[in-house]
Amino acid sequence: MKRREVIKNLSILPVSGVVLGSAIPFETALAMAAPPKRDIFKELGIRTFINAAGTYTALSGCIMHDDVVETIRYSSQKFAAIEECQDAVGKKIAEMLHAEAAMVTAGCWSALVLGTAGVLTGTDPKKVAQLPHLDNMKSEILVQKTHNHGYVHAPTNTGARIVEVETLQDIEKAINEKTAMMWFLNYAGPDGQIKDKEWVALGKKYGIPTMIDMAADATPVENLWKFHDMGFDLVCLSGGKGLTGPQSAGILSGKKDLIAAARLNAPPRGGNIGRGMKVNKEEILGMYVALEKFINRDHQKQWKIWEDRIAIMEKGAKSDPGVTTTVTVPPVANITPTLTISWDMTKIKVDANEIRNRLRKGNPSIEMMGGKENLVITSWMMRDGEDKIVAGRLVEELKKASA
């Protein structure tokens, strides 16, 4: 019997459990109807796990929305010109984000590099070809000392260098004819003396473009347009974190002339610093659908799902009397309910590193965050039902350790 016939017959399956007109038992018919499965992770011996950690690049970020996967599959069956994809998708994304223009990039990091490149080169093809050598060009980026770590390396890929500032006076002293841009790291916002609105106002006062890195900060949804409304010239966002789009995609959005300039530094063009930061039609269209699905999601309902999962895991952990739990929501970035679990180590005699290790090695494997003193869990990258599995494993391991 052909697969198609099996499926057709399944729809008229009688209660007897035998496919009508044949002697094939129900289970066999079902197995035949199921799409052929190849478990490649298993074949290759790659561990898969429940992600109670969050949107970490090393842990493969997020699970894409079903419609994104469908879009990738659909677009993979046709050819299209990349520039047309960027034009059309960029226009739609810009509307959704309250921006003048937008482009899909190879992650937020790539948005940071290409956006900075655009600021430095404008639409001058000679300057595009010249990067990362900035002779006779602007070359300095102002960054607050408390924002100057990790991701700031991205803008410096253009050849530009960071000039650290702390106070308003520092800024006024630092600004000169070489100053190209003012960079702001959203998650470090509370740590710096100068806050986002003031940063934008200073940029406008001195005629210097401002860029914000809000990679992991798509929640709450208003964040997606907040920084455009505030006046930032360029906004950089990850596609494969909270947005549950392609992990290797991101969005650069902002002023029309700056996006046009950034695109000159990006694929499909070559002879520029961005040629390696490629996004294909599948990711460009996938990013668009991810953003659309994210914005139109029932955010209250989603938040409640995340909270309910956290409550189930918290209850599990708390069933051990030596355990203390807290549920918090970070103030600026990665805004999602976050469970922290710690314990009295005279009662539960192993540290949190060891518990995480045991959960990682268990079946199913579970990943979470935290240090030696605590376990830190978020539920936004978990799938339905996994909260109960994690709760059960927490109970098991904590009990074993306190025995």
Q: Footprint of ligand PLP on this chain (CB under 6 A)? A: 57, 107-109, 151, 187, 213, 215-216, 238, 250
We find the least distance from the C-beta atom of residue 55 to ligand PLP, in angstroms, to be 8
Residue pair 84/399 in contact by the 8 Å Cβ criterion: no
Residue pair 322/344 in contact by the 8 Å Cβ criterion: yes
383 residue type, one letter = R
- Closest by CA position to 299, among listed 242, 250, 338, 253: 242
We find the least distance from the C-beta atom of residue 199 to ligand PLP, in angstroms, to be 16
Q: Is the dihedral of CA 56, 107, 38, 25 positive or negative?
A: positive
Alpha carbons 297 and 67: distance in angstroms, whole number: 13
Cis check for the bond before 132: say yes or no (omega within 30 of 0): yes
Sheet holding 161-165, edge to edge: 101-105, 250-254, 234-238, 210-213, 179-185, 140-144, 161-165
We find the least distance from the C-beta atom of residue 210 to ligand PLP, in angstroms, to be 16
We find the least distance from the C-beta atom of residue 339 to ligand PLP, in angstroms, to be 20
We find the least distance from the C-beta atom of residue 316 to ligand PLP, in angstroms, to be 29
Q: For ligand PLP, which is the closer residue by CB, 127 or 241?
A: 241
We find the least distance from the C-beta atom of residue 216 to ligand PLP, in angstroms, to be 4
We find the least distance from the C-beta atom of residue 56 to ligand PLP, in angstroms, to be 9
Q: For ligand PLP, which is the closer residue by CB, 200 or 236?
A: 236
| Residue entry with tokens 């930061």 | 277
We find the least distance from the C-beta atom of residue 108 to ligand PLP, in angstroms, to be 3
Alpha carbons 377 and 224: distance in angstroms, whole number: 24
Residue pair 104/251 in contact by the 8 Å Cβ criterion: yes
Q: For ligand PLP, which is the closer residue by CB, 163 or 216?
A: 216
Q: For ligand PLP, which is the closer residue by CB, 196 or 213?
A: 213
Alpha carbons 277 and 305: distance in angstroms, whole number: 35
Sequential DSSP letters for 13-69: --TTSB-TTS--BHHHHHHHHSPP---HHHHHT---EEE-S-S-GGGT--PPPHHHH
Q: For ligand PLP, which is the closer residue by CB, 108 or 134?
A: 108
Q: For ligand PLP, which is the closer residue by CB, 194 or 215?
A: 215
Q: For ligand PLP, which is the closer residue by CB, 121 or 247?
A: 247
Q: For ligand PLP, which is the closer residue by CB, 112 or 289?
A: 112
Residue nearest to ligand PLP (CB): 107
Q: For ligand PLP, which is the closer residue by CB, 101 or 216?
A: 216
CA 27 to chain centre: 40
Cis check for the bond before 364: say yes or no (omega within 30 of 0): yes
Alpha carbons 57 and 92: distance in angstroms, whole number: 27
Burial code of 270-290, b = ≥16 C-beta within 10 A, e = fewer?
Answer: eebbbeebebbbbbbbbbbbb
Please provide the distance, in angstroms rounded to a whole number, between the alpha carbons at the two ends of the chain.
Answer: 57
Q: What Rg do the C-alpha atoms of the chain give, in angstroms?
A: 25
We find the least distance from the C-beta atom of residue 187 to ligand PLP, in angstroms, to be 6
Using DSSP, state whether 204 is helix, strand or coil.
helix
We find the least distance from the C-beta atom of residue 104 to ligand PLP, in angstroms, to be 11
Q: For ligand PLP, which is the closer residue by CB, 96 or 185?
A: 185
Pairing relationship of beta strands 338-343 and 365-367 according to DSSP bridges: unpaired
